Amino acid sequence: QVSRLLEAGIPKERIFMDVISGATEDRPQLNSLLSLLNKGDVLTVWKVDRLGRRTAHLARLLEEFDQKGITVRSLTEGVDTSDRSSRVSYLLMSVIAQNERETINERIRSGIDHAQ
């Protein structure tokens, strides 16, 4: 993921990575990133779900970005929130990300229950 961001022209010092789950909204690197973004900036992500896994959280981020004039661009999903249809795609991907997270959690719980 980092190499693809570098290839896309993102300077290494502008790549932010948290080592905790994307399901956690309060992440140090995400918070640092959010504090640096300004009107007219383009936030480039590997995948939309790297910003967060909960639909409500991603919707709040999208609203915040929209209000601040910040565009989100995904390298792998073709999302560019500068247009309306892409914003809708962003929200749909957030629903899919949340569903994937819930499915993974169910499998983990099932595996733990089965092991006991």
How many Cα atoms within 13 Å fall on the side-chain side of residue 73?
12
- What CATH number is associated with residue 63? 3.40.50.1390
Strand (E) or helix (H) holding 42: strand 42-45
Residue 20: its pLDDT value, please? 56
Reported confidence tier of residue 19, pLDDT bands at 50, 70, 90: low
Model's pTM, two decimal places?
0.67
Mean pLDDT calculated for residue range 85-90? 74
How many structural domains comprise the chain?
Answer: 1
Residue 13 makes CB contacts below 8 A (sequence gap 6+) with: none
Q: Please indicate whether residue 69 or residue 90 has the higher confidence score (pLDDT).
A: 69
Mean pLDDT calculated for residue range 33-56? 85
How many CB atoms are closer than 10 A to CB 70? 20
Segments forming the whole domain that contains residue 31? 2-115
Is pLDDT of 27 > 80?
A: no
CA pair distance 103, 32, nearest whole angstrom: 30
